[in-house]
Amino acid sequence: MEFVSPTKGSMSFDGMFGEIVAFVQEFPEDPYTLIIGSDSQAKEQVTSFVTAVVVHRVGKGARYFYQRRSHRPMRSLRQRILFETSLSLGLAGAMAERLSDNGHSQLNIEIHLDIGQQGDTRALIREIVGMVTGSGFDAKIKPDSYGASKVADKYTK
């Protein structure tokens, strides 16, 4: 799994995790939220998926990383949203496990979903939010899901 930091370039999962821990250790007394969100862009030949990881020092800035992958074309909106959610949940699970192993289990992990009350995705809210909360993570939808709708979306184009 290769991740990209806009300031530090390409790195492995371990490299990204190290950057997150270093960011938190700069000011360990400050509150932090770890945000994971995915977005997709369907094109004729391929569907592009981007998963973003944002470590937010509440009220004092953030750092983010993203991972891009291509998949066969997915025309179904429901199928794309389910796949986006599964990508976010998979990464959140790996992050939670690593945080627990390294003494940083106090970091709250939020899953930001690219769904909301407006548009075609409103019919999916209950199912997708239930999937995330049933996995033990907090779920945020639009307009509060900037990890997916702003950060990840920026790199799907």
Q: What is the pLDDT confidence band of residue 106, given thresholds at 50, 70 and 90?
A: confident
pLDDT recorded at residue 63: 97
pLDDT recorded at residue 104: 84
| Global pTM value | 0.95
Rounded to an integer, the average pLDDT of 134-147 is 97
Q: What is the pLDDT confidence band of residue 2, given thresholds at 50, 70 and 90?
A: very high
Q: Tens digits of per-residue pLDDT, 53-76?
A: 999 999 999 999 999 999 999 989
Using the predicted structure, report yes or no on whether residue 105 has a pLDDT greater than 90.
no
The residue among 103 and 120 whose pLDDT is bigger is 120
- What is the overall mean pLDDT for the chain? 95
Show the 3-state SS of the chain. CEEEECCCEEEEHHHHHHHHHHHHHHCCCCCEEEEEEEEEEECCCCEEEEEEEEEEECCCCEEEEEEEEEECCCCCHHHHHHHHHHHHHHHHHHHHHHHHHCCCCCCEEEEEEEEECCCHHHHHHHHHHHHHHHCCCEEEEECCCHHHHHHHHHCCC
Q: What is the pLDDT confidence band of residue 103, given thresholds at 50, 70 and 90?
A: confident
